[in-house]
Structure 1
Amino acid sequence: MNSYLKTSLIAAILLSLGATAGYGVATWREERGASASNRTSDGGATPEGRKVLYWYDPMVPQQKFDKPGKSPFMDMQLVPKYADEVSSTGVAVDPRVSQTLGWRTATVSKQRVGGGVQAVGTVQLNERDVATVQARAGGFVQRVGSIAPGDVVAQGALIAELLVPEWSAAQQEYLAVRSTGDAGLSAAARQRLVLLGMPEASVSQLERSGQLQAVAAVHAPIAGVVQELMVRQGMTVTQGMTLVRINGLSTVWLEAALAEVQAFAAKPGQSVEVQLSAFPGETWQGRVTAILPQANADTRTLKVRIELPNPQGRLRAGMFAQVRFAGAEEEALVVPGDAVIRTGQRAIVYVVTAPGRYQPVEVRVGREFSDRLEVLQGLQAGQEVVTSGQFLIDSEASMQGVLQRQALPASAVAAPAGMTASATSPAASASPTAHQGSGKVVELSAAEVTLDHGAIASMQWPAMQMSFKLARPDLGRGIKTGDAVRFSFIQSGDAYVVQSLERAGATK
């Protein structure tokens, strides 16, 4: 009984301790939650005075919330978007985020570039050095030389011996006419032999010996590799039938794949240096004979044809080679290739204007040198550009509408990073210009309206959805969400302020 009471007492104590601990944890969580919810005032401002525009989930940034709390998409708290982080001319990112993600930057600099471009290529047979042998007359194959496709033959090597019955009667006629001593008839009979396809050497042999030449020997007209052999012993051939195709080896082609952005490096007639994997340490001299007119759509490369001498026959089709196109060195403004974002219509880099602030700048790029790009317009030496993580910044800029709102004239993008908009824009000191537009109301409050508007030519804006400040709270009177409206607005600093707002079709 004592043991039972002791066990019951211990259980009661443990239960009491657990309840106390649970109450303490719950109280601590409530205090933490209250502390988190009190970080901003009812007016959407922090104790430090920073105004909060909205809260969002970094994983779903396009969804906005009007109060803090837990994200409905992820197991994480919503993040505030402060007013001082939104700008029409740049993107603000917490420097701690940049450091956590390991974003890298590089300095725009002038460097010596050029001095040659490297490319790869393969050796191929010279398709201009080809000989095709055909039968001059119909007959029968008596013998074929000891050759096969792929063999290398010397000039004059025997290809085949053909028996041509048609020649026998014509030769007998020629010998008979020749014995009469009639020069005119003899010349005509001899010409007939030539027209029947009898080689001049065989006709001369007939004249010297007086013996019929019924068998014609076919020899290789050039030295080279046998590409095709279409004749076999005992077969019948017809006039014009191809017997053999031989590709010469005195010169070969090297077809190099040159990136289209480096097309400037190759010109017809240019000398190049070639190194082959099969012969390390040796350098061969070649000449560019042609730049083929069609680029490879998959690899975006141009095919450059180079002719190489091959006196010893050491170069063989299929060999791999490195080609160097020589060029003069020159000074150019360059950035790392990773810093440039190509949108298809323009090229953009993000310039660091201050710690945690990034300015999108449209640039015009030129030649490509390995991992560097030449900048023709838009940057100056000494500016710092983002080379890693700029796609996250670009996504943030797109979400804020910075790229859509920001016109990037050449005079502005070429200005140094420290120069302000008022220093580069002559319109900064002039009175604000009113711009006209039309669209549909997405959200409306007493201080702000969100419009899905069409293109605005005076601002060089495409059609998009963005928020405007209202000059007066009564501008939205009688207008509701979904209404088609006409509006006018001006730019005031970084904000765009609607001066008039009326339903489309309404009468003033």
Structure 2
Amino acid sequence: MKIKHVTMALVAAALAAAGGAGLYVAGKNAGARVAPGAAAGARKPLYWHDPMVPTQKFDKPGKSPFMDMQLVPVYADGGGDEGAVKVTVSPRMQQSLGVRTAPATRARLPSGLSAVGSVAYNERDLVLVQARSNGFVERLHVRASFDTVSKGQPLLDLYVPEWVAAQEEFLSARRIASAGIDGLVDAARQRMRLAGMGEEQIRLVESTAKVQLRTTLTAPVGGVVAELSVREGMTVMAGATLFRINGQGTVWLNAEVPESAAAAVQPGRAVEARTPALPGMVFKGKVNALLPDVNASTRTLKARVELANPGAKLVPGMFATLDFAAAPGDETLLVPSEAVIQTGTRSVVMVDEGGGKFAAVDVETGRESAGQTEIRKGLAPGQNVVVSGQFLIDSEASLKGGAMRMSAPAGARAAGAAGPLHHASGSIEQIDKDEVMISHGPVPTLQWGPMTMGFKPPRAGMPDTVHAGDRVSFDFVREADGSFRIARIGAAADATPAKAAGASK
């Protein structure tokens, strides 16, 4: 029991000491709100200053040499600085606005880049079959366009009179060469080449020792006959195109890519394509080239993608969608794209600082993909940004004007307030045309103690009901030039009946 009494006494003494310290701090700061942990040194001020002369900095606390008030500490996070642009939203209001937050994280930006396009022949697999000399088409082995042919398959039979004459001359030279004139054979063979005969046709004439009246042209590659320009009985001229054959091992997919994403589409990047005509099938390929031509109507560039075509299932004209594989890169700071507010000249995010406080932060954005936006400057990993309800906070805070007025009355905004609204009460000492001298009490939002100072009168002028010597309650703002202007003023609630009666005259 004795130990219990001693313990209770010690606890009471500790509480008394703590209460006394709290009263001392409260008295010293004249009603200013002390941040938790400040007395214990949790936050170290950067410097001290007089809010009336903010450009002058002091390295220790004390009384201002300019005004009858204590110097105000300024912290690294902006605490104690009335110029900090912040908004306070109660938990109930956050719930009403549907405010949601998400952390900024370091990760690789997902690709998320998709495009659409159409299939076309791979023009690098195109082969033309032409007539090397004037002749006549005696027989067609392939009679329709888009027929599939294999390498070496007969295409048509030609009768070329010039070739017949060259063959007879060669055979005659061979017979004469047996008498010792070998040069004539080589000359005759060269003439057949000049007439347009191929080496295989020349060897056939040599091996059979007979004139080949008709020549059969064969397909140099396998593929599809994309163009057929002759019919049986036609006369063809040297250089005329008879067949156009396209290979089908690979095809091109000409995809439309937004010009904003062109930097991410580089040759060699892997691609997967799908087409509604072949559900369930995935065709793999890579970007072959990004054509240097922008469509003025759609603001897109054409990416040429080369796809493998097993079974020749992809045919020209097919519609396809393609997904670009993620490009290799380093991890970057990412936030949800919906968290970024684009004002036209800058990008802004609302940062949740805890305790219902939100701050507008200018950021420098980078690439955007799959609902994520790269943040290059302005945020740190782990900071929570508002992803839902930020536009309502932005609207109330008037970010475009550079001021936070979440709780400012409509009258103050109409009065041309250029900063946060502050409230005070006191007695009017003197009223002049350009200045109203007021002895006011503490101003917690500025961490001011009681003082006598001059304010600019309201823009609409001083009310007729307010006179020198009246006790008043007023709101004021800090203007761009550092001065303070009254936004609203009226009789104080604690004014004596005599004063109130006098104010009503």
Shorter-chain TM range is: 0.5 to 0.7
Kept after mapping to 1: 8 A contact 2:133/2:196: yes
Kept after mapping to 2: 8 A contact 1:119/1:257: no
1:416 is matched with which residue? none
What is the letter of the counterpart of residue 132 of structure 1? L
What is the letter of the counterpart of residue 170 of structure 1? A
* Pick aligned residue for 1:119 from 111, 114, 119: 114
1:132 is matched with which residue? 128
| Higher alpha-carbon deviation: 390-399 or 379-388 | 390-399
Aligned-pair distance for 1:188? 1.1
Tell me the percent identity.
37
2:386 is matched with which residue? 385
Give the 3 Å change call, closer, same or farther, for CA 257–134 of structure 1 in structure 2: same
- SS at 1:312 equivalent: helix
- Normalised by the size of structure 1, how large is the TM-score? 0.54
Kept after mapping to 1: 8 A contact 2:250/2:309: yes
1:201 is matched with which residue? 200
CA-to-partner distance for each residue in 1:97-129, whole Å, 9 max, x for gaps? Answer: 987995645334215444654534554332211
- SS at 1:140 equivalent: strand
What is the letter of the counterpart of residue 180 of structure 1? I
Kept after mapping to 2: 8 A contact 1:224/1:248: yes
Cα distance in 1 between the residues matched to 2:399 and 2:356: 17
| Higher alpha-carbon deviation: 380-389 or 363-372 | 380-389
- SS at 2:145 equivalent: coil
What is the letter of the counterpart of residue 496 of structure 1? A
1:106 is matched with which residue? 101
Aligned-pair distance for 1:375? 0.8
1:190 is matched with which residue? 189
- SS at 2:211 equivalent: coil
1:143 is matched with which residue? 139
Kept after mapping to 2: 8 A contact 1:339/1:390: no
Cα distance in 1 between the residues matched to 2:173 and 2:196: 20
1:336 is matched with which residue? 336
Aligned-pair distance for 1:364? 1.1
Give the 3 Å change call, closer, same or farther, for CA 342–217 of structure 1 in structure 2: farther
Aligned-pair distance for 1:142? 1.9
Counterparts in 2 of 1:307-386, with a 5 A limit?
Answer: 307-317=306-316, 318=318, 320-326=320-326, 331-342=331-342, 345-351=345-351, 360-380=360-380, 381-385=382-386
Kept after mapping to 2: 8 A contact 1:114/1:328: no
- Normalised by the size of structure 2, how large is the TM-score? 0.54
- SS at 1:496 equivalent: coil
What is the letter of the counterpart of residue 382 of structure 1? Q
Kept after mapping to 1: 8 A contact 2:349/2:385: no
Cα distance in 2 between the residues matched to 1:273 and 1:167: 51
Structure with the bigger RCO (C-alpha within 8 Å, sep 6+) is 2
- SS at 1:320 equivalent: strand
Aligned-pair distance for 1:148? 1.6
What is the letter of the counterpart of residue 114 of structure 2? A
Counterparts in 2 of 1:27-426, with a 5 A limit?
Answer: 102=97, 104-114=99-109, 117-122=112-117, 123-181=119-177, 182-257=181-256, 266-273=265-272, 277=276, 283-294=282-293, 303-317=302-316, 318=318, 320-326=320-326, 331-342=331-342, 345-351=345-351, 360-380=360-380, 381-385=382-386, 387-388=388-389, 390=391, 393=394, 397=398, 400=401
Aligned-pair distance for 1:206? 2.3
Cα distance in 1 between the residues matched to 2:107 and 2:456: 58
What is the letter of the counterpart of residue 110 of structure 1? T
What is the letter of the counterpart of residue 497 of structure 1? D
Give the 3 Å change call, closer, same or farther, for CA 300–383 of structure 1 in structure 2: farther
Kept after mapping to 2: 8 A contact 1:261/1:367: no
Kept after mapping to 1: 8 A contact 2:128/2:245: yes
Give the 3 Å change call, closer, same or farther, for CA 199–379 of structure 1 in structure 2: same
Cα distance in 2 between the residues matched to 1:395 and 1:292: 47
| Structure 2 alignment gaps of length 5 or more | 1-81, 405-418, 421-432, 436-453, 458-475, 484-505
| Higher alpha-carbon deviation: 334-343 or 279-288 | 279-288
- SS at 2:312 equivalent: coil
- In the alignment, does 2:496 pair up with 1:496? no
Give the 3 Å change call, closer, same or farther, for CA 97–397 of structure 1 in structure 2: farther
Cα distance in 2 between the residues matched to 1:101 and 1:300: 41
Kept after mapping to 2: 8 A contact 1:174/1:186: yes
Kept after mapping to 2: 8 A contact 1:113/1:330: yes
Give the 3 Å change call, closer, same or farther, for CA 168–330 of structure 1 in structure 2: closer
Kept after mapping to 2: 8 A contact 1:339/1:388: no
Aligned-pair distance for 1:394? 6.2
Aligned-pair distance for 1:447? 6.0
Kept after mapping to 2: 8 A contact 1:265/1:325: no
Cα distance in 2 between the residues matched to 1:344 and 1:229: 57
What is the letter of the counterpart of residue 150 of structure 1? F
Kept after mapping to 2: 8 A contact 1:111/1:332: yes
Kept after mapping to 2: 8 A contact 1:115/1:329: no
Cα distance in 1 between the residues matched to 2:295 and 2:91: 45
CA-to-partner distance for each residue in 1:137-162, whole Å, 9 max, x for gaps? Answer: 11222222233222221112222222
Cα distance in 1 between the residues matched to 2:388 and 2:298: 24
Cα distance in 1 between the residues matched to 2:279 and 2:199: 49
- SS at 2:335 equivalent: strand
Cα distance in 2 between the residues matched to 1:214 and 1:395: 94
Aligned-pair distance for 1:216? 2.5
What is the letter of the counterpart of residue 105 of structure 2? K
1:464 is matched with which residue? none
Kept after mapping to 2: 8 A contact 1:91/1:393: no
What is the letter of the counterpart of residue 145 of structure 1? H
CA-to-partner distance for each residue in 1:251-281, whole Å, 9 max, x for gaps? Answer: 2234455555655655544555555555555
| Structure 1 alignment gaps of length 5 or more | 1-86, 404-419, 422-445, 449-469, 474-491, 500-508
Cα distance in 1 between the residues matched to 2:333 and 2:158: 71
What is the letter of the counterpart of residue 361 of structure 1? V
What is the letter of the counterpart of residue 148 of structure 1? A
Give the 3 Å change call, closer, same or farther, for CA 88–302 of structure 1 in structure 2: farther
Give the 3 Å change call, closer, same or farther, for CA 131–280 of structure 1 in structure 2: same
- SS at 1:171 equivalent: helix
Give the 3 Å change call, closer, same or farther, for CA 341–498 of structure 1 in structure 2: closer
CA-to-partner distance for each residue in 1:14-46, whole Å, 9 max, x for gaps? Answer: xxxxxxxxxxxxxxxxxxxxxxxxxxxxxxxxx
What is the letter of the counterpart of residue 152 of structure 1? T
1:455 is matched with which residue? none
